[in-house]
Chains A and B, each alone.
Chain A
Amino acid sequence: MTQDITIKITDREGITHEVQAPTDMNMNVMELVSAYELAPAGTIGICGGMAMCASCQCYILNQVTLPEMSDDEEAMLSEAFNVKDNSRLGCQIYLTNALGGLEIALAPES
């Protein structure tokens, strides 16, 4: 049986939530945020996770090795707003054991 990992997510109101994330359900960070309802429905994951809308943009707050950015993700971020050096799209970060302890903050809605 796989173990859940712990991820800290700061929502758009600035409140930090520590959540348990399954690693065996092929879930990504955007889906995790939706599952815990940390962002109102309709304001995250609008494109369904295809790196096409940037509604799941988040800032990575600590040093955890993340999957490399795909061309699609990089292209989307280049057109998104409120982008910082530590911006990623939550839908492109799949939950694996390597992400245990990850801390992120959701970017403002745009």
Chain B
Amino acid sequence: MIKTDILIIGAGPTGLFAVFEAGLLKLKCHILDALPQAGGQLSELYPKKPIFDIPGFPEVLAGDLIHNLREQIKQFEPGFTFGERAETIEKQEDGSFIVTSNKGKKFNAPVIAIAGGLGSFEPRKPLIDGLKFYEDKGIKYFIKNPEKFRDKRVVIAGGGDSALDWSIFLSNIASEVTLVHRRNEFRGALDSVDKVQELKDAGKIKLITPAEVVGIKGAEHIESVDLDENGAHRNVPCDYFIPLFGLTPKLGPIANWGLEIEKNAIKVNNALDYQTNIPGIFAIGDVNTYPGKLKLILCGFHEATLMCQAAYQIINPGKKFVMKYTTVSGIDGFDGTRKEAPKSVVKAID
């Protein structure tokens, strides 16, 4: 069981910055995120796009902002659990919560801060009859263990980076890789497109375009997929079908935690501290809603700051503290480091 002061669900900019504000109040944080890396939408959707409305940064790439936030919170030594989704929550007798991930990992904290953005990112599933039946019988939306595909026949569908990258990777492992896409053009890094072209020419990847997977066949396991290739039917025998059509955010299991939900977001008390209807559970950033809500990163930073002040009171009831300016007080990291403004020199001039 991982014990911490604040369990932050979501490693986007708001969740990351909450670690900093909590650190100033000497509160430790652990971050849980369903994606394999920090950054949320910024890393998943638009790492190379510029953002122009972060105060103090005339222009910053989304990926760089996440990198900087991680640098900024480093001395507060947050724990990270990536690739796991918060599934259930239970209130304990001492008032704290135990959150369990979809992989069974448990986290215990007196304060939960949901900074889940638009929700956890889940694969976009193609509209194919019987898809669900085959989900544990040969359909894979993520590739966790490529060895599973050794000497197997794999059909990958999609036209973006994931489809290209995994086709390249699996061409060395699988006995047969077929890449199916609705167009002849792919949207991916030029290197990857060139590499797929090379592998296709070498006969290591079978490319079928413009085509679409429209059906799945097999009794107990996938045996083949049906394609619509420019209006013509074609059947491709395979052991695995990997549709890679990107990810879409869903509020997911958090929607069943008893929190008040409005407009696909969690209702919070914005006049005070962004607490939800369950005391001790806060929602900050894009995941919350209140009158006048704006889904902006800069608003998420503000919400995280106020949330931490309220969290301090829950964790240290009755204990006095005052908000401090970092320029005046410096920053004491949990790793023993200290950052502070250089002292002015007082020296007489002869």
Partner-B contacts on A (CB < 8 A): 40-43, 46-47, 50, 52-53, 55, 71-72, 74-76, 78-79, 81-82, 110
Residue ID in chain B nearest A53 by CB atoms: B248
Instruction: Please report the C-alpha to C-alpha distance between residue A41 and residue B249 in the assembled complex, in whole angstroms.
Output: 12
With A47-B46, A50-B46, A53-B248 as contacts: A75 and B127 at CB distance below 8 Å: no
With A42-B118, A75-B185 as contacts: A81 and B127 at CB distance below 8 Å: yes
Instruction: Please report the C-alpha to C-alpha distance between residue A79 and residue B159 in the assembled complex, in whole angstroms.
Output: 7
Residue ID in chain A nearest B246 by CB atoms: A79
Residue from the list A52, A78, A82 in contact with B182, Cβ < 8 A: A78
Residue ID in chain A nearest B128 by CB atoms: A81
List 11 A–B pairs whose Cβ atoms lie within 8 Å, in order of A's numbering.
A41-B263, A42-B265, A46-B248, A47-B46, A53-B246, A72-B187, A75-B159, A79-B158, A79-B246, A82-B127, A110-B124
Instruction: Please report the C-alpha to C-alpha distance between residue A55 and residue B127 in the assembled complex, in whole angstroms.
Output: 15
Partner-A contacts on B (CB < 8 A): 41, 45-46, 49, 118-119, 124, 126-127, 158-160, 181-183, 185, 187, 245-246, 248-249, 251, 263-265, 289
Nearest chain A CB to B224 CB, angstrom units: 22
Is B45 in contact with A75, judged by CB distance below 8 angstroms?
no
Nearest chain A CB to B216 CB, angstrom units: 16
The dominant DSSP class at the A interface is loop
Instruction: Please report the C-alpha to C-alpha distance between residue A76 and residue B45 in the assembled complex, in whole angstroms.
Output: 13
Residue ID in chain A nearest B262 by CB atoms: A41
Nearest chain A CB to B101 CB, angstrom units: 23
Is B159 in contact with A41, judged by CB distance below 8 angstroms?
no
With A53-B246, A81-B124 as contacts: A42 and B187 at CB distance below 8 Å: no
Instruction: Please report the C-alpha to C-alpha distance between residue A47 and residue B41 in the assembled complex, in whole angstroms.
Output: 8
Is A78 in contact with B159, judged by CB distance below 8 angstroms?
yes
Instruction: Please report the C-alpha to C-alpha distance between residue A78 and residue B210 in the assembled complex, in whole angstroms.
Output: 10
Is A47 in contact with B159, judged by CB distance below 8 angstroms?
no
Instruction: Please report the C-alpha to C-alpha distance between residue A82 and residue B245 in the assembled complex, in whole angstroms.
Output: 13
With A40-B264, A41-B264, A79-B245 as contacts: A52 and B46 at CB distance below 8 Å: yes
Instruction: Please report the C-alpha to C-alpha distance between residue A71 and residue B118 in the assembled complex, in whole angstroms.
Output: 26
Nearest chain A CB to B273 CB, angstrom units: 23
Instruction: Please report the C-alpha to C-alpha distance between residue A43 and residue B265 in the assembled complex, in whole angstroms.
Output: 11
Instruction: Please report the C-alpha to C-alpha distance between residue A53 and residue B248 in the assembled complex, in whole angstroms.
Output: 7
Instruction: Please report the C-alpha to C-alpha distance between residue A91 and residue B251 in the assembled complex, in whole angstroms.
Output: 23
